[in-house]
């Protein structure tokens, strides 16, 4: 048997429980991984609350989690390039990584590089590939000024750094508690809230060329008011505004591959990309972990450690 997160109905964090379930077995082309760290994401909270029922319904009892890093503990038929004992990071689309053991497609894992902590490795997939896709979608490059909303969140903290690595000047919208961190990264922090449009204009007298929105609630309109071309605005959350104004919505699915995860992990290993880890919770404290996430002021990632 092995421990895994389960919930039996839609609801608040109280529906989450740690269950003893049979240890999963890898099928052909799959690997069994003993999970060392698994990131949590707002989308999981939305699914668990039933907000995405039309698009991504849950079936009960439901597991949870896409991100993970851990040690290979078993191989399915036909897996040759991975060995038991390998340290890997990866993802599943089966809502099952918040557990002691997860079964993943062998093609969806990649080695954990030197210099990448278990926490960073286990938290990188959803946020990292989403940030990668969003920054690519707005074509951030040298000479550009790019604004990122939710700049210190799971996706935003990585989008800021990827846009900086692309050579852009980056303005990060964040609460005051995150301004020093954004400065340290090389970005210009700007407070959100009333007057944000003027503050951005002041910070970017040269004009703003691109916008990555990771928060929603009017940032697409703000970007348009800044005079940015819709083709250089990407929102990962405000799909209504995206449809209305014809802006981009590239996110996780546009870059969800072991190849992109590998590329990002190598940047982390070289010290060029930081995955800020806000807090690590044991599996037993999964409810508290989501309570913290759902307050929506996390810097970087919250991680479960089975």
Ligand X SMILES: NC(=O)c1ccc[n+]([C@@H]2O[C@H](COP(=O)([O-])OP(=O)(O)OC[C@H]3O[C@@H](n4cnc5c(N)ncnc54)[C@H](OP(=O)(O)O)[C@@H]3O)[C@@H](O)[C@H]2O)c1
Binding site for ligand X (CB under 6 A): 41-43, 126-127, 130, 149-150, 152-156, 173-175, 178, 192, 214-215, 236-237, 251-252, 293, 296-298
CB atoms within 10 A of CB 276: 19
CB of 270 to ligand X, least distance (A): 23
Q: Work out whether strand 188-190 and strand 87-91 pair parallel, antiparallel, or are unpaired.
A: unpaired
Q: Judged by CB, which is closer to ligand X: 36, or 301?
A: 301
DSSP 8-state code for residue 82 = -
Q: Judged by CB, which is closer to ligand X: 100, or 238?
A: 238
Q: Judged by CB, which is closer to ligand X: 31, or 170?
A: 170
Q: Judged by CB, which is closer to ligand X: 101, or 125?
A: 125
- CA–CA dist 272, 156 (Å, integer): 16
Look at the block and give the residue holding tokens 């404290």.
Answer: 285
CB of 155 to ligand X, least distance (A): 4
CB of 193 to ligand X, least distance (A): 7
CB of 75 to ligand X, least distance (A): 30
Q: Judged by CB, which is closer to ligand X: 101, or 192?
A: 192
Please give the distance of CA 31 from its chain centroid, rounded to a whole number.
23
C-alpha pair distances (Å), 217 with each of 60, 63, 149: 31, 30, 10
CB of 251 to ligand X, least distance (A): 2
Structure tokens belonging to residue 103: 């079964």
Contact 174, 192 (CB under 8 A): yes
Instruction: Give the residue among 199, 187, 39, 206 at the shortest CA–CA distance from 124.
Output: 39
């Amino acid at each position: 048997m092995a421990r895994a997160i389960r919930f039996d109905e839609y609801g608040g964090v109280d529906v989450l429980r740690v269950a003893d379930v049979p240890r999963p077995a890898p099928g052909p082309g799959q690997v069994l991984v003993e999970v060392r760290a698994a990131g949590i994401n707002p989308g999981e909270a939305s699914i668990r609350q039933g907000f995405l029922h039309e698009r991504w319904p849950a079936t009960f009892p439901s597991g949870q989690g896409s991100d993970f890093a851990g040690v290979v503990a078993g191989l399915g038929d036909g897996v040759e390039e991975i060995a038991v004992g390998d340290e890997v990071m990866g993802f599943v689309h089966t809502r099952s990584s918040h557990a002691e053991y997860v079964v993943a497609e062998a093609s969806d894992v990649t080695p954990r590089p030197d210099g990448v902590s278990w926490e960073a490795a286990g938290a990188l997939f959803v946020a990292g590939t989403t940030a990668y896709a969003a920054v690519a979608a707005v074509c951030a490059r040298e000479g550009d000024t790019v604004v990122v909303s939710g700049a210190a969140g799971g996706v935003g903290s990585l989008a800021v750094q990827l846009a900086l690595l692309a050579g852009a000047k980056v303005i990060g919208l964040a609460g005051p508690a995150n301004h020093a961190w954004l400065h340290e990264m090389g970005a210009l922090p700007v407070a959100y809230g009333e007057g944000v449009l003027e503050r951005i204009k002041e910070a970017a007298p040269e004009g703003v060329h691109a916008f990555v929105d990771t928060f929603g609630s009017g940032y697409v309109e703000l970007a348009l008011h800044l005079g940015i071309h819709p083709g250089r605005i990407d929102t990962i959350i405000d799909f209504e505004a995206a449809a209305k104004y014809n802006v981009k919505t590239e996110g996780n699915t546009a870059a969800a591959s072991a190849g992109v995860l590998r590329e990002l992990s190598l940047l982390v290993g070289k010290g060029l990309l930081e995955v800020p880890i806000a807090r690590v919770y044991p599996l037993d404290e999964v409810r508290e972990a989501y309570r913290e996430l759902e307050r929506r002021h996390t810097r970087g990632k919250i991680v479960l450690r089975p």
